[in-house]
Amino acid sequence: MTLDQSSMPNFNSSWVNYKGAWFTTLFIIVLLKTLFSVIPFISAEASWTLTNLTFNIGQYIMFHWVQGIPFENHQGAYDGLTLWEQIDGGVQFTATRKFFTAVPIALFLLSTHYTHYNLVLLVINFAPLMLVLVAKLPVMHRVRIFGIGKIDHVVD
């Protein structure tokens, strides 16, 4: 049974194409950095690392873990698809996808620079970067590692 994903606009993923969403992403990073910087006894290096970890883990959960859409008007057409797989109808290398791929890389570079290239912090910052970047690769489109998160549709 094939469901028509093009019958209606996908309100779950269309918002990421707006420049306001891009600005909000950058604002969240600044907010996280500010939040971690004002906590007493947290060094600047630790605040950059916590900002990187928090943002990348949050982005992974939001874009690559949660599946489906919260609206009932698509009758299951997007069940089993993550938000990343829904963006731009699955077309790769669009401006939106490039932006959401570049942001974690830029944040990693900033975190690495401001942690003074400390090897331990570099590894800690690199791990979540790889988590989100591997999930964004075109070869990972609709792939579920070890079947984690796979939704089996039962057709009666």
**Cα of 16 vs its chain's centroid, Å:** 11
CA distance 40 to 2: 55
pTM: 0.85
* pLDDT confidence band for 155 (50 / 70 / 90): very low
| Of the candidates 82, 80, 60, 66, the residue with the CA atom closest to the CA atom of residue 130 | 60
pLDDT band at 76 (very low <50, low <70, confident <90, very high): low
Contact 44, 103 (CB under 8 A): no
Residue 92 structure tokens? 């790769």
In this predicted structure, the answer to whether residue 2 has a pLDDT above a threshold of 90 is no
CB 80 within 8 A of CB 1: no
**62 strand-pairing partners:** none
Q: Mean pLDDT, to the nearest integer, of 44-54? A: 97
